[in-house]
Structure formats: C-alpha cells, structure tokens
Structure 1
Amino acid sequence: MRLNALIVEDEYLAREELTYLIEKYSTINIVAAFDDGLDAFKFLQSNQVDIVFLDINIPSIDGMLLARNIAQFLHKPKIVFTTAYKEHAVDAFELEAVDYLLKPLNEQRVIGLLTKLQQHVQAQQPITNIRNNTVNLLHNNRIHVTAVSDICCAIANEKVTDVYTAKGRFVAQMTMSELMLRLPSSDFFRCHRSYCININDVKEIIPWVNSTYMIKLAHIEQHIPVSRSNLKAFRCLMKL
C-alpha cells in the first residue's frame, strides 16, 4: 500500500529538503505541502492522508495545536514533528507522535523513520480507513458495483451524494464525507464543500472569478468549481 503524506513547514528550504528525502528513500506520496497551519487544517478537514510531517513554529495555528485538532478526527493520520526546538518533545509524544525530528535533518535518521512509518501505519491502520476498490451506487432501482477509479466526480445532495461516471449519474446512499472515506486521497480531491473530483479525470483548469478556477473533466459535461478555501490546496495538488 502506498501511503499519502502532507507536509506542513513554513521554511521553503526545509520543505524542499524533506520532500527530496521522502521521494528519494520511500514510496510515500506527498499529496500537498503547506506553509500555514490553518491552510493545512482546512485541507485535512476534507482530505485524508496517512502521515503529516509537521513543523511546530508555523503561522496561523502552531503545530502543537494543529496536532491536537487532528487527534479529534475520525481518521487520525500519524504525526511526525520536524522542528529546531527540543523542548516540545514530551508534549509531542503525549500526542502519540510517531517521531520527533530535530533540524537540521539527519539523512540516516530520516531513512530509518521512513521505513518505520511504512510498517507502523500498515500495522495500525484503523478499520475506518480501509478502502475498497468498489462502491455500491444506485440507478433505476438497481445496485451497480462500481470501481472507484470509474468515478469522475461527486456532488453532495443533502443526505445522499450524486456520483458521476462516464456512463452517467448514480446515487451513493451516503453523505459526501462518508463517501470520501471510501475514496483514495491520492486520486480524489474535495475541491468544494459540495464537490469532489477524480484528479485523473481533469481535462482543463479554467481561471474564474476571484482568482478561483472551474474544472472541466474528461468524461462529463458539468464544470466543477474550486472554492476559495480550497484554492491553495488545489494549486499545490495540481502544481499551478
């Protein structure tokens, strides 16, 4: 299983170094990186990851407070603190952090951590994070067992979710948040409170009002909006 990670680090060079080491020595997929705690928190409210590499002294919400908020999530990613300060180590491990890396980073230390992370997350992955390859969708009073990779996008519709594939519109008998638990975060992004897209189906990204975007997908006609609150995460994800 390939793990998905988020980096929260306000120093550009430190962020680039950590990204380089993760990509060189592991198969961990970095889905996004933020230099601000509040932006990271908003992203995590709508998107699941397995690991968060978290600096402590970051803008808006410091790393310790962000970790405490993450600990309240139904799906709790593993936390790795990366910081230049030793004094927060006790608090970090009380929050069940997997590790506490001091800057400047030691390459061998990071390599050992990446191996441990792969083993640790796989061994303790909660049942709520187990994702199936299919989801049951309704159409014309029939249940269609649908591969998640066939889903182009999903749109919230009160207590159910309208799901679109290349074959048309179906209904998932669950909320958008419940559906997101079934979808791999490496492929699906909640670009708006009411919309989720399969990033592999994105055909065009159209600049829109207030510096936002509209998304044109390959297999459906409807354009999908990106909300302002998800704009930074979207740009990071799509490398804009």
Structure 2
Amino acid sequence: MTIHALIVDDEEPGRANLRYALQDHPGWSIVAECASVATARAAMDANAVDVIFLDIQMPRETGLALARELSTQTAPPLVIFVTAFNAHAIEAFDLHALDYLLKPFDDRRLALSLERATAMLKQRQQAGYAQAMGQYVKAEDEAKKEQPAYWQQISVRSVGRIECIQLADVLWIEAAGNYMQLHMGQRQVLHRVALSQLEKHLDPASFLRVHRSAIVRCDQLSQLEVLGDGVYQLVLANQDKVPVSERYVAEVRRRMHDGLRPA
C-alpha cells in the first residue's frame, strides 16, 4: 500500500524537515510540496492525495481555510495538522480526535501519526473523519464569536476510526485519569481528553458537574441518596449510581426540584 502525501507549509525548512523524515517510512510517497493553500488546491486537482501535512499559520489563507473546504467532502484526504506550540490549538485537536504534529516534531510522534493515518485509510474511515473535521472547523469559527455555541456532538478516536457521538445520547461522563468515559446506557466509550476540557463546551442547562470526576445529564437526575456524613450519591433514571460532592449538593437539589415542577 502506497500512501500519497502532500506537504503544505509556507516555510521551506518546515517542508524539508517533513520530506527528510518521511524518507525513513517505506510506503509513503510525497506527491507535492506547497507553500500556500492556493498551490495546495492545484496540487490536489493534479494528484491523488491520501494525507495532507497542513501548517495552520500561513499568510493569505490559513490551513483552517483548506480544512474547512475538505470537511465538506464525502471522503477527504486525512489531515495531520502541523503547528508551533499553542495550547488552544492542541486542546482543539485533542477534543475533536484530530492528529497533529508540534514543531519541532520528533521521530516517535511522527511515527504515531503515520500509524494512525495508515490504519484509518485501510479501514476507509474518511467519511467519519470528514464529520470530525467539520466539527473542529465549526468550533473554531464559533470560538471567534462573542457567544460561541455549545457542542451537540463530539468525535472519539478508536483504532483505525473516528466515531461521532451525539451528546444527547450521553447520560453521564466520568473522569478516568487522562481519559473520560462516556456512559450511554448499555454502552461506554473512552475518549483521551480530560473532563475539564470538555466541560466548558457543554450546555450548562443540559449538563451538571456533580463531582470532580463526574458530569451528569440534567434530565437523568432521579434520586439523591445520603450515604453518610457529607457523603452523597445520585441514582440516575437508568439506575446508574454517581458520586456527588458536598459542594454540589445544593445545586443538584435545586435542579431536581426545578425538574419536578409542572410545565
């Protein structure tokens, strides 16, 4: 299997670094190197491209402009975003299960990105990828507004694929180290993102933090149990049991009381 790659970076040293690094990975072929989004479009018209190494910060048009266009395609090339260190950018990529390389990147990180891209291409997962990239672009556009919209779905990476999960299907979310676990009734899904990263994108009218390790969907609040002095537990509508910190008890009771009021 030969993977055709396109390098898009306005700085020649950045293009050269990737070119030399990819030489150590058989099966990867560079079809073109571009210094702008405009030349990248022309290169994609002239060549079959599987993976794009895309610099974010470029003059005239940024890499985000090209990502926006690609996200509208049914089966776009996969994008590995290349960026200098930026905390917001890294958090955005992680939240949307997109791959990235930080300048200067190391061989281990590059190898991991190539492995992930290869697995997704083998399983023909470009459609799910397009949806995830579309969410990323939309979130970036919303972030520039004074009142960004709350998320309706998130993208989760598993081996060789990206799955888009509707937040309306998530009953509660549990912190699990550097991961969070999405509870959806009979199904649980792990996502390698900290709970605090996702929390700021959740609609507070729909989701409520009840513990440092748990966020619940408000329409799932069913019963609050007192287990001991300052020890509380929520029983959700589906009978899942979730710990509640004392600091959140008053708000939990208020939400439950409001939820019981007649419309």
**Larger relative contact order (C-alpha < 8 A, sep ≥ 6)?**
1
Highest CA radius of gyration, 1 or 2?
2
TM-score (norm 1): 0.47
